[in-house]
Amino acid sequence: MESCIFCRIVEKELQSKIAYEDEEVVAFHDINPQAPIHVLIVPRKHIPTLNEATEEERSLLGKLMLVAQKLAKELGTAESGYRIVLNTNKDAGQSVFHIHLHLLGGRSFRWPPG
């Protein structure tokens, strides 16, 4: 998926500040952070939205959550609190169509979200 910006980040064709990577997952700091901690956690595999995920991706989706937990601990926001966001399609404001979790922390968040 050469045109996908997150595929290009995963392939290191585009520069990013990487927070974690393994054979399945890459996490990097958001270019336009909405909180003191704002990391994007993405699978190396190109999946456009949660709507396209299948049973085949069950463990990969779980892995994204566990990477979020690990980074929340490492970045020091696990105890104070953090938010995981997965935007899907237009009404949620998804702008990059390669599935990703947002890990947001370092401040308090309102509920319900806007």
Name the site residues for ligand 5GP (rule: CB under 6 A). Answer: 5, 14, 16, 28, 30-32, 40, 87, 93-96
Pick what 7 binds: Zn ion, ligand 5GP, none; C-beta below 5 to 8 Å, kind-dependent.
Zn ion
Distances (CA, A) of 6 to 87, 90, 111: 15, 18, 29
Residue 51 neighbours by CB under 8 Å, 6+ apart: 88, 89
Residue 7 makes contact with Zn ion by CB under 5 A: yes
Compute the distance between CA of residue 27 and CA of residue 30 in angstroms, rounded to an integer. 9
Residue 44 makes contact with Zn ion by CB under 5 A: no
Pick what 93 binds: Zn ion, ligand 5GP, none; C-beta below 5 to 8 Å, kind-dependent.
ligand 5GP
Q: Which residues are catalytic?
A: 100
